[in-house]
Homo-oligomer: A and B are copies of this chain.
Amino acid sequence: MNVIVERIAKFMRNAWRIGADDPAKVVHCLKVGLALSLVSIFYYMRPLYDGVGGNAMWAIMTVVVVFESNVGATFSKCVNRVVATILAGSLGIAVHWVATQSGKAEIFVIGCSVFLFAFAATYSRFVPSFKARFDYGAMIFILTFSLVSVGGYRVDKLVDMAQQRVSTIAIGTSICIFITVFFCPIWAGTQLHRLVQRNFVKLADSLDGCVAEYLKKKDVEKNGIEDEETNMKLQGFKCVLNSKGTEESMANLARWEPAHGSFNFRHPWQQYVKIGAAMRRCAYCLENLSICMNYEAEAPDQVKNHFGEACLKLSSASSKILRELADMMNNTRKSSKMDFLVFDMNSAVQELQETLKTVPVRTNNAKEDGTMTMSLHEVLPVATLVSLLIENAARIQT
């Protein structure tokens, strides 16, 4: 009994934290409630109810299924649903007409066509380029087609029914679009933009943290609370590693959205995916660096001292660039400081290479060199990142 209570309590605490961290989620839930209440009005008002002939159920269903947390997803589902319903509905009516003309073979014709279209539509859902945009539409197509063609066998006023159903779906989708766009809209594009920007900051924090942690002397006393905080920062790059899926789906959804804020309709969302990929390359380096940190055998202190300064300089130059990039994204224009920072970083790289050449032979330890080369490797992805972002910023400005 106690275990169950504890579990529920844990679940509730968890749920509360999610809401506190991101109030947009709570807003979304309120919007769902509002949309459903609005759609229920169709049931309560007799003239409206009679107008759609008891098919008002489909409006409720549309709202429940189509309403998503950001505008892009809702738009894409609405368009998918309406287009697929109309397409499948007219096809279903056509098949039904052919079937009635064919007399005794009616059931056979309907059965075969359902089988064939279901097969084709299900198959198309496996093609990645189609799936990314029309997955939901294909499902609605199968559903509507079978309902209309099979259902037509029993229902007499097929065209009336189809018409009513399309109008209820139109009511449902328009309520959804109205509420998502006009009540505290949550844009997929803005979320993507913020996600990428936050990832830049996280990368910079992790980079600083990892290098500092590695070079830190063992005998320094540790403060518990502080340690946890730095640990959080060190783990920041893990978020970057795992954000691939989110970025791709967001970029896909953002394409459906109309112009909002500082984003135009044809904002180059695919660029964000590329930036994300470049950031993930940086994060791989950090992952390896953190594996180095956990090595059982540590590099001796004198090696650390030898490299320490150059290393810190390089990492701080790199992280400054990352932070500047985050700022640039915030203002969506090119920063004038950028060239200067890139120059700084390049000179730090040179310095580190000089230091490497003067390393005393004895202490030429694999692990230590590991860190250095890591830092060097970070330069390459960062450079890619910079060029990508400069291009991106240029596009935004035009």
Contact = CB atoms under 8 A, between A and B. Distances in A.
Nearest to A352: B366
A127 B64 contact: no
Interface in A285-323: 285, 287-288, 291-292, 295
A101 interface: no
A176 to B, nearest CB: 13
A284 B283 CA distance: 9
Contacts of A51: none
Contacts of A129: 11, 14
A37 B285 CA distance: 54
Copies of this subunit: 2
Interface string A101-112: 000000100110
Interface stretch (A145-153, A212-220, A265-273): A145-153
A74 B101 CA distance: 38
A106 to B, nearest CB: 9
Interface string A212-237: 00000000000000000000000000
Contacts of A357: 364
Interface residues of A, number: 78
A194 interface: no
A60 B146 contact: yes
Interface string A10-48: 010011001100000110111011101100100110000
Given A15-B124, A119-B32, A291 B380 contact: yes
20 contacts: A11-B127, A15-B124, A19-B123, A25-B123, A36-B115, A36-B142, A37-B111, A37-B114, A40-B111, A60-B151, A61-B143, A64-B143, A281-B287, A281-B291, A284-B284, A291-B380, A291-B381, A292-B377, A356-B364, A361-B361
Those 8 A-B pairs whose CB atoms lie nearest each other, nearest first = A370-B373, A33-B115, A29-B122, A369-B369, A33-B119, A284-B284, A64-B143, A33-B118
